[in-house]
Structure formats: C-alpha cells, structure tokens
Copies of this chain bind each other. A is one copy, B any other.
Amino acid sequence: MRLLSVAAHSFRVKGYDATTTRELAATMGLQKASLYYYISDKAHLLYEICEVSLQHIHATVEAAIADVRHPREQVEQVILAHVRAMLEDRDMHATMLVELRALSGDRRTNIIALRDKYEALVRGVIARAQDANEIRRDITAHDLTLALLNLLNWTIFWYSPDGGRTPEQLADEFRRIYLFGATAK
C-alpha cells in the first residue's frame, strides 16, 4: 500500500509524533478524514511499518542462509542480506528501529516479539559458527550478535545512495571489519 510508504518516509525524516495525519493526507492527495477509510488510527500505520519491516528482514536473511552449508559463510551471508534489506528501504527500517517506543500495549508486545525472533535467528548462526570453531568463543554468542547488529543497524542513519557506494560495497567492508578486525592486513 502506498500510504505505508508515505508514512514511513515522514516518520523517518520528522519522527512519528511530529508527523501529522494532515501531512500524510496532503501527500496522498486526500482530505484528513479520508485516511480513516484505510486505517483505524495513526498508530496502526506505525505498527504495520514495524511489522512489515521485521518480517521482510527475517525472510530475507533466512532465505540467504538457506542453501549455505559452511557456518562462517552463513555469517557472511547474514551481513550481506541484512545490510541489503535495510538499505533497500531505509524509510521502513529506520522507522522500525527508532519509533518502536511510540507503540504501546499489544502492538508494542507483538513487535518486540518479532524483533526478538529475528535476533534469535542471527544468534543461532553465530552460535553454530562458534560450535564449528569458526568464530571466537571468548565472547558469548549473545554479545557477538549485539555487536554485529550494532555495526550494521546504525548505518541506516548516515547512509545515502548518493554517496557513491552500493549497499554491497558497504556490506563487504563490514564483513571484513567484523570477521577480521580493523588491525587485519
């Protein structure tokens, strides 16, 4: 639905609270009241954005590792797929990352559950690579996962497609830094 994209764009640039239903309606070429034919309330838009975002990332990363046997190669595919998915739709994913706190009640609970499920997917990949002795074991899979998501997620706030680098090039830099470190030659 196009309304979701319009909302995601405004939510990323101005924030959820600072975006008014009037603006969204104007961008869609509608009157404010007409929005309520499509949505029950403003928070519903945010909820759907977060849901679509997390489901998309989960499915993309899951598909990327499906046919990969080697544990360390799985880690590499997670990095590439995650960066690609995020940067392909910055509006959606940046909104999900930053505006979750604006949700409340069941909506919030559901989105947090989806986020935890995705984290568990990544953590599983890391843990299996540790079992195969391909990833260091002096740091828990939990912390290695948080560090990886730190490294990848923040990118969405400074990346610009006009910067001359593709998501794939950036993902490869992150792959080298994450796996081999900044001191590697």
Chain A contacts to B: CB under 8 angstroms: 13-18, 72, 75, 98, 101-102, 126, 134-136, 138-139, 143-144, 146-155, 158, 170, 173-174, 176-185
Contacts and interface: CB of A to CB of B under 8 A. Distances in A.
A101 B13 contact: yes
Contacts of A149: 154
B135 A183 contact: yes
6 contacts: A15-B16, A136-B176, A138-B176, A139-B182, A151-B151, A179-B182
Contacts of A13: 101
B101 A15 contact: yes
Given A18-B102, A101-B15, A134 B183 contact: yes
Contact of A184 (B136, B151, B158): B136
A161 B75 CA distance: 29
B135 A147 contact: no
A89 B155 CA distance: 23
A86 to B, nearest CB: 12
